[in-house]
């Protein structure tokens, strides 16, 4: 196999960082790379200590702190990639929307976008105010050099628009869909504005050293296939292509996406993130083998006894069938009460059982 020759005599430390990026590009790797959605968060003692002294937004806005939280989590777990500590909602502020995180409630946008005038008032020329995220990425990149893959991220246009319109999380997305159906011109203008800001934001992150960008379409599962096609696909595709043109692979992730996977893959994203509800082999078939996939252990299996957890980890790896282009992850984020030792145990299991590329079926 060509890659083995290419890697001969190269110290393992040099291969570590590229293992994740190679898998994003469906190149063979020595073993399946692994990282976790929400790997830095409240389940980790070190993060809780930082949080005692700072709000979430303070951590995001102080590059030293954001970098420290990112690095600590990645090193403690021994993963192959570090996702920058930031939040999906940060770009709302330079667009002119104030928000806060209320304890136990998630994000709250104070004056949600509801009318054509509200959309028109949104600013698109202040993305440089988000520079603190790029500065944090620079620090993480300096720390890890090529040892780990560095992931920058942003929300997808639909998911960010839904936060702006609902003012927070939502069950039925009624306000979002009202604007979408009743004033489609304003809806499209809103998505255009979001894509403009996110493109600039992602460029800052790539220039600062992000190896890959993940686009979170966390709430896209609230759309049926026709509505995804008519109201969300095009803006996502434009963002995916714009980021790829910066020279990095894109991971496109959503939740409850079983019916949308083929269409999500049509955006051209290099990697599709699978949520935990669908078996990985079925998800990959729907995505198509021209794309890599990331996932998709149910995050709540991290509460199971280790024997059960091991069965589930092996099941995910078996479903990937040794094909190049599988990145092991959860099918959604780690929740606050998760035992850290179980997350570390999963990393060990993937290191042990996730030998792909070598002896792969292709």
Among this protein's residues, is 120 annotated catalytic? no
The catalytic position among 42, 229, 312, 351 is 42
Give the phi and the psi of residue 202 in degrees, each rounded to 5. Answer: -65, -35
Nearest distance in Å: CB 288, ligand CP3:
23
3-state secondary structure of 109: strand
- Name the 3-class secondary structure at 170: coil
> DSSP state, 215?
E
End-to-end CA distance of the chain: 10
**Minimum CB distance to ligand CP3, residue 28 (Å):** 27
Cβ distance to ligand CP3 smaller for residue 26 or 139: 139
Verify whether residue 163 is a known catalytic residue: yes
**What is the smallest separation between the CB atom of 171 and ligand CP3, expressed in angstroms?**
14
For the bound state, the minimum distance from the C-beta of residue 151 to ligand CP3, rounded and expressed in Å, comes to 8
Task: Please give the full DSSP string across 225-237, using - where no structure is assigned.
Answer: HHHIIIIIHHHHH
The nearer residue to ligand CP3, 106 or 262, going by C-beta atoms, is 106
Give the distance, in angstroms, between the CA of residue 88 and the centroid of all CA atoms in the same chain. 10
Residue 314 token pair: 């092996």
Rank residues 89 and 272 by Cβ distance to ligand CP3 and give the closer one: 89
Let me know if 323 is a catalytic residue.
Answer: no
Residue 348 phi, psi (nearest 5): -60, -45
Distances (CA, A) of 222 to 118, 228, 260: 23, 9, 11
- Per the annotation, the verdict on 98 as an active-site residue is no
Q: For 216, phi and psi rounded to 5 degrees?
A: -90, 110
Which of these is catalytic: 43, 163, 228, 231?
163
* Residue whose C-beta lies closest to ligand CP3: 218
Catalytic residue among 38, 203, 238, 323: 38
Binding residues for ligand CP3 (CB under 6 A): 37-42, 51, 56, 83, 85, 87-89, 101, 106-107, 153, 169, 216, 218, 333
Toward ligand CP3, which CB reaches closer, 89 or 271?
Answer: 89
| Nearer residue to ligand CP3 within complex by CB, 71 or 83 | 83
Least distance in angstroms from the C-beta of 178 to ligand CP3: 21
Cis ω before 92 (30° cut-off from 0): no
Place of tokens 């095009």: 234
Q: What is the CA radius of gyration of the chain?
A: 20
The two structure tokens encoding residue 238: 């434009």
Active site (annotated) includes residue 118: no
**Which residues have a catalytic role annotated?**
38, 42, 51, 87, 163
């Amino acid at each position: 196999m060509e890659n083995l020759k290419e890697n001969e005599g190269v110290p393992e430390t040099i291969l570590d960082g590229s293992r994740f990026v190679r898998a994003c590009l469906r190149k063979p790797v020595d073993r399946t790379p692994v990282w976790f959605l929400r790997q830095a968060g409240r389940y980790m003692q070190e993060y809780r200590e930082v949080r005692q002294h700072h709000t979430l937004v303070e951590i995001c806005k102080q590059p030293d702190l954001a970098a420290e939280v990112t690095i600590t989590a990645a090193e403690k777990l021994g993963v192959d990639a570090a996702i920058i500590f930031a939040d999906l909602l940060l770009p709302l502020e330079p667009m002119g929307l104030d928000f806060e995180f209320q304890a136990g409630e998630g994000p709250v946008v104070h004056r949600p976008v509801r009318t054509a005038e509200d959309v028109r008032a949104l600013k698109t020329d202040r993305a440089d105010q988000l520079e603190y995220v790029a500065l944090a990425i620079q620090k993480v990149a300096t720390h890890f050099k090529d040892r780990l893959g560095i992931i920058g991220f942003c929300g997808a246009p639909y998911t960010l628009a839904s936060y702006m319109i609902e003012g927070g999380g939502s069950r039925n997305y009624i306000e979002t869909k009202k604007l979408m159906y009743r004033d489609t011109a304003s809806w499209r203008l809103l998505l255009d504005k979001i894509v403009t800001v996110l493109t600039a934001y992602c460029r800052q992150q790539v220039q600062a050293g992000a190896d890959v960008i993940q686009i979170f379409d966390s709430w896209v599962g609230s759309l049926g296939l026709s509505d995804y096609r008519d109201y969300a696909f095009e803006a996502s595709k434009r963002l995916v292509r714009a980021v790829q043109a910066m020279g990095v692979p894109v991971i496109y992730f959503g939740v409850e996406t079983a019916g949308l996977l083929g269409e999500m893959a049509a955006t051209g994203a290099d990697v599709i993130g699978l949520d935990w509800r669908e078996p990985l082999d079925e998800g990959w078939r729907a995505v198509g083998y021209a794309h890599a996939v990331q996932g998709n252990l149910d995050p709540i299996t991290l509460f199971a006894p280790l024997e059960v957890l091991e069965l589930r980890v092996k099941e995910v790896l078996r479903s990937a069938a040794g094909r190049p282009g599988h990145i092991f992850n959860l099918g959604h984020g780690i929740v606050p009460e998760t035992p850290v030792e179980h997350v570390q145990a999963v990393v060990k299991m993937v290191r042990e059982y996730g030998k792909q590329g070598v002896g792969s079926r292709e």
